[in-house]
Structure 1
Amino acid sequence: MTMTADLKARFQAQAQGAMVLYVGYIGVVNRLFETLARLGAAESDALAAAAGKDAGYVRRWCDAAYATGYLEDAEGARFRLSAIGAAMRPDAPETLMPVAVQAMLSAHMAERAAGLMPSGARPGEQVLAECETLLPWFGPMLEASYAPVFETTISPAIPIFSEIDRQAGLAVDLGCGNGWYLRVLARRYPHLRGLGVDGFAENIAQATTLAETEGFGARLSFAVGDAHHLALPEPADLIAMNRALHHVWEGGIARFLDRLRGQIKPGGAAVIWEPNWPAERAALRKPGWARLAFQNLTEHVQGNHLLGAEEIAAAFLAAGFAEATTHLFAEGKEAVIVARTPKDHRTAGQRA
């Protein structure tokens, strides 16, 4: 096989993989995997009726899902979930749902980047809401992708959380999405209180419902708000930003961090979790790092760019924080920076 033929075959296989994920995404968004799991086995029309969807669309989806391995034949003309189909359920252990949602989000952002490149326009975060089926799944995608590692690996390695818990302190999550970060903290730290702030009302509605469902309604609250115009009901013991600091960086990070410091109690902390943009371009060729390069391209559409852990820590110190400690995870691809405010804010003002 020639090099060109080999490349063509490889690219065709990759395209096939993307198509499989698109079929999975359609089933996720329309709750077809969950519905068929509940039914056990069903003909396509019965599945459509149970899911409340159009029978013609579901019939064609069942053919595509069968062809791509999500469904198997049951007796008669009925279908049942394959092992892969069962794993696509959002409530399945180690669900594959976020992979399908991310694939569709990537396709959307690639199309926007292609169209915007001639003009250089950077329309901002509203591009995430341009596809009506994507925004409701953005929070669940992030939760399924990052909550397990936060609960088992990251939160136990960051002592500030236990400290805030002992004080029954207030943890604020800016850009909270569906509230997964605060719900993880609430499960692990029974005295900690939380406030989540997000710019999308859809996310706040999800976060409020999920917190109440899990019994955290008295300890966790959520509100629509703008991180640039933050007005907390009380000074925070901790302000967290999870994969969100890069969204405010280009708007004037020095001013933003100065305002952020003013919302945190003396001796409190900002806890920043970011993809760790490598100092050397060659790192992007390492296994698992290419996704950061693609994400950085799509972040440009939103008016952002990814950050390195060292530049984040340096910015907090320059803004008058007393210290900034970096913790690296996932072979350096993920960085958590804990920036402490001085115990005397007058000292911070003099340093700033």
Structure 2
Amino acid sequence: MARTPLDELRKRAQGALSLDIAFIGVVNGLFSALHELGRARVDDLAAKTGMDAGYLQRWCDAAYAFGWLERDGEVFVLSDDGAAMRPEAEDSGMALAIGAVLSAHMAERAAGLMRSGERPGEKVLAERETILPWFGAMLEHNFRRSFEEKVLPAVPVFAEMNERQGLVVDLGCGNGWYLRALLGRCHSLRGLGLDGFDENIRQAERLAQKEALADRLHFAQGDIHRFELPEPADLIAMNRALHHVWEERGRLFERLHGELRPGGALVIWEPAWPEDTGILREPAYRTMAFQNLSEHIQGNHFLHPEEIAEALTNAGFAATVHPVGTDAVVVGRRS
């Protein structure tokens, strides 16, 4: 019997449910605990994690149903897919689970806010207590490899600043993944990450220590709106952050220009909203289209690389655009 469009929709819906179950396992450490235990009954998993046994029984049944676990009677063990969901696993799939539940949250908020036109801002990201602590890890899993393999080779300013043993400042650094990736490749650079959330600073410091970068990499409280630098910077980075403060770009760029040493650079990495929105049906752009809806809730919208370059030029920078897939890195040099 031929499959119908409704059959395909049911298949997609089951995929979403599968990631919902995986999300529960990720944020509560269940995949990692089962990996350490090897084989475990529900009571063993409850003792290991401190979670309620009743909830764990239902989760294990659901995780088995969707293939995250295998079972032998009442004993559960990770499947290969379940092992890949561990946050510490190489090429972990945890970001897919976090992103799926975050997207569902944003879709629910958009559905209600569409009726009033209200745009409550970035606080919507903190409305679900189980999502926010994982936001930085999700971004790292989504973008660190792309940064190391595509952005770094395409943008020569990083190697130049490494030659001058410069200071790199990341505004809104999250868990510090960008600076850890950069200093891991550019061994003469020093880094300072600024963020407004204490939890992000704690995560960043712990991970820098783990990657043996704590002697060159430091983190402090501060954000794009309020920060003080201990010395002029050679490079200031804004990663997927400019669209959050676009309405304040004139005043912001003027200040950042003054915080740079002569010859320093402001490096902006942003999704490149296409001029021709007919391209949004292509798989690489579909996620961007949904994210732009989420950004509208937060009072933002994605930008064209050319308008970023124009704003930098107007602020006294010499601007160049480096396309990287569906993103763009726009470099503004202080003369």
Q: Does the alignment pair 1:172 with 2:182?
A: no
The residue number in structure 2 matching 1:248 is 245
The alignment partner of 2:283 has SS state of coil
- In the alignment, the residues of structure 2 paired with residue 118 and residue 235 of structure 1 have an alpha-carbon distance, to the nearest angstrom, of 47
Instruction: Report the Cα offset of residue 89 of structure 1.
Output: 0.7
User: 4+ residue runs of structure 1 moved beyond 3 angstroms?
Assistant: none
Match of 1:230 among 223, 227, 233: 227
Deviation digits for residues 298-334 of structure 1, max 9, x if unmatched? Answer: 001111100111111111111110x21111122xx11
The alignment partner of 2:135 has SS state of helix
The residue number in structure 1 matching 2:333 is 340
Deviation digits for residues 268-324 of structure 1, max 9, x if unmatched? Answer: 101111111000111111222111111011001111100111111111111110x21
Q: Does the alignment pair 1:205 with 2:198?
A: no
- State the one-letter code of the partner of 1:310: E
The residue number in structure 2 matching 1:350 is none
Q: Does the alignment pair 1:110 with 2:107?
A: yes
Give the structure-1-normalised TM-score: 0.92
Q: Does the alignment pair 1:316 with 2:316?
A: no
Instruction: Report the Cα offset of residue 9 of structure 1.
Output: 2.2
Match of 1:15 among 10, 13, 16: 13
Q: Does the alignment pair 1:162 with 2:159?
A: yes
Deviation digits for residues 39-83 of structure 1, max 9, x if unmatched? Answer: 111112211211221111111100000000000124x42111111
- State the one-letter code of the partner of 1:233: P
Deviation digits for residues 152-175 of structure 1, max 9, x if unmatched? Answer: 221122221122112221100111
- In the alignment, the residues of structure 1 paired with residue 108 and residue 283 of structure 2 have an alpha-carbon distance, to the nearest angstrom, of 25
The alignment partner of 1:181 has SS state of helix
Give the structure-2-normalised TM-score: 0.96
- In the alignment, the residues of structure 2 paired with residue 87 and residue 12 of structure 1 have an alpha-carbon distance, to the nearest angstrom, of 25
- State the one-letter code of the partner of 2:28: N
- In the alignment, the residues of structure 2 paired with residue 109 and residue 261 of structure 1 have an alpha-carbon distance, to the nearest angstrom, of 35
The residue number in structure 2 matching 1:187 is 184
The residue number in structure 1 matching 2:70 is 72
Residue pairs, 1:319-330, within 5 angstroms: 319-321=315-317, 323-330=318-325
The alignment partner of 1:288 has SS state of helix
Instruction: Report the Cα offset of residue 7 of structure 1.
Output: 3.0
Instruction: Tell me the C-alpha RMSD between the 2 structures.
Output: 1.5
The alignment partner of 2:104 has SS state of helix
- State the one-letter code of the partner of 1:95: S
Deviation digits for residues 71-109 of structure 1, max 9, x if unmatched? Answer: 0124x4211111110110111111110000000110111
- State the one-letter code of the partner of 2:10: Q
Instruction: Report the Cα offset of residue 238 of structure 1.
Output: 0.2
Match of 1:43 among 32, 41, 46: 41
**Unpaired runs of at least 5, structure 1:** 343-352
Instruction: Report the Cα offset of residue 209 of structure 1.
Output: 1.3
The residue number in structure 2 matching 1:28 is 26
Aligned residues: 335
The alignment partner of 2:214 has SS state of coil
The residue number in structure 1 matching 2:289 is 293
Q: Does the alignment pair 1:153 with 2:119?
A: no
Match of 1:218 among 197, 202, 215: 215
Deviation digits for residues 117-168 of structure 1, max 9, x if unmatched? Answer: 2222211111111110111100000111111111122112222112211222
- In the alignment, the residues of structure 2 paired with residue 134 and residue 7 of structure 1 have an alpha-carbon distance, to the nearest angstrom, of 32
Residue pairs, 1:77-116, within 5 angstroms: 77-116=74-113
